[in-house]
């Protein structure tokens, strides 16, 4: 696989030609599945804190935890473009710290770029990272790392002021050098307007059908977690029920001694066994 094939530039080349399909992955198995399905890129999202670690939000995930997930994904999806999500407070405390942490995603997490949430406030950082050769995926709209301040995960950009702010943030992120921008939970027609005003791709999640690409969380697509599911999510299978029934069948067979059978067992030469029995008595 040539390095260029794994460059975020490949996503820019798809704008206007082909819809981009991204998905999150966090471990070896989800990464292998995503790569086998042929997605265009994988995001190792900080949503890992919820779907992998069982927390209620993304705030508490650490750099070390993110890097662990990134390395596992790199082993499972060697030939797929992989972007690492910079966790809360890994890029806000100082420019130096942010550059060092972004570099760790590339050097230790084997990522081909990083995702950073925010608008104008992250522009100086994005310019620095891009100037050092670290590709950046922007993220505006609902930004879960600001959910405390936003008052939850409500759709953004529904009124004139916030819609105008999102449009100008998107343009500022493009000028700063982002290779693409995630638009999370914004009205479809606003996402369309933003998409038409940019030469880099927009990747929507809860942003309707007009963006250049889509991304969803792995666990949502395969229905791994029962319970609340946001309006914009589509689950293509009920993975939780499917896997649960496999585990129930396994348990039943174990209890009934229906598993393991000869087919799943190893044999020993009968003469060896007889010798052993004699020796024992």
Q: Which residues bind ligand KIV (CB under 6 A)?
A: 24, 43, 45-47, 85, 182, 184, 205, 215, 217
Residue with Cβ nearer ligand KIV (177 or 204): 204
Q: Is 83 exposed, middle or buried (0-12, 13-18, 19+ CB in 10 A)?
A: buried
Quote the least distance from Cβ 46 to ligand KIV, whole Å: 5
- Of the candidates 56, 184, 241, 274, the residue annotated as catalytic is 184
CA angle 137, 133, 205 (to 5 degrees): 5
Quote the least distance from Cβ 143 to ligand KIV, whole Å: 8
Residue with Cβ nearer ligand KIV (55 or 259): 55
Tell me the three state secondary structure of residue 265: coil
Cβ-proximal residue to ligand KIV, closest one: 45
CA distance 49 to 41: 20
Quote the least distance from Cβ 272 to ligand KIV, whole Å: 55
Q: List, in order, residues 6 or more apart from 65 with CB less than 8 Å away.
A: 48, 49, 53, 87
Residue with Cβ nearer ligand KIV (153 or 259): 153
Quote the least distance from Cβ 20 to ligand KIV, whole Å: 13
Torsion of CA 142, 209, 39, 100, to 10 degrees: -30
Active site residue 184: yes
- What is the token pair recorded at 108? 């230790």
- Would you tell me the crossing angle of helices 95-107 and 63-76 to the nearest 10 degrees? 30
Residue with Cβ nearer ligand KIV (49 or 123): 49
What amino acid positions are annotated as catalytic residues? 184
């Amino acid at each position: 696989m040539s390095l260029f094939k794994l460059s975020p530039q490949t996503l820019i080349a798809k704008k206007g030609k082909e819809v981009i399909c991204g998905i999150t992955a966090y471990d070896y198995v989800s990464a292998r599945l995503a790569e086998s399905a042929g997605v265009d890129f994988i995001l190792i999202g900080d949503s890992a804190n919820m779907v992998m670690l069982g927390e209620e939000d993304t705030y508490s995930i650490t750099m070390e935890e993110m890097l662990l997930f990134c390395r596992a994904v790199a082993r499972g999806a060697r030939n797929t473009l992989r972007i690492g999500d910079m966790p809360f407070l890994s890029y806000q405390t100082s420019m130096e710290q942010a550059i060092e942490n972004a570099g760790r995603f590339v050097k230790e997490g084997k990522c081909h770029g990083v995702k950073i949430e925010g608008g104008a406030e992250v522009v100086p950082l994005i310019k620095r990272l891009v100037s050092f050769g670290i590709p950046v995926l922007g993220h505006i709209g609902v930004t879960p790392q600001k959910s405390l301040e936003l008052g939850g995960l409500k759709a953004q950009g529904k009124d004139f002021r916030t819609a105008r702010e999102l449009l100008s943030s998107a343009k500022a992120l493009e000028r700063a050098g982002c290779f693409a921008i995630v638009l999370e939970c914004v009205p479809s027609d606003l996402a369309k307007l933003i998409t038409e005003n940019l030469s880099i791709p927009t990747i929507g999640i809860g942003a309707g059908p007009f963006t250049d690409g889509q991304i969803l969380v792995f666990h949502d697509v395969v229905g791994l977690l029962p319970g609340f599911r946001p309006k914009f999510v589509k689950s293509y299978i009920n993975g939780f029920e499917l896997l649960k029934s496999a585990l129930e069948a396994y348990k039943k067979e174990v209890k009934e001694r229906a598993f393991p059978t000869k087919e799943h067992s190893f044999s020993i030469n009968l003469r060896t066994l007889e010798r052993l029995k004699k020796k024992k008595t």
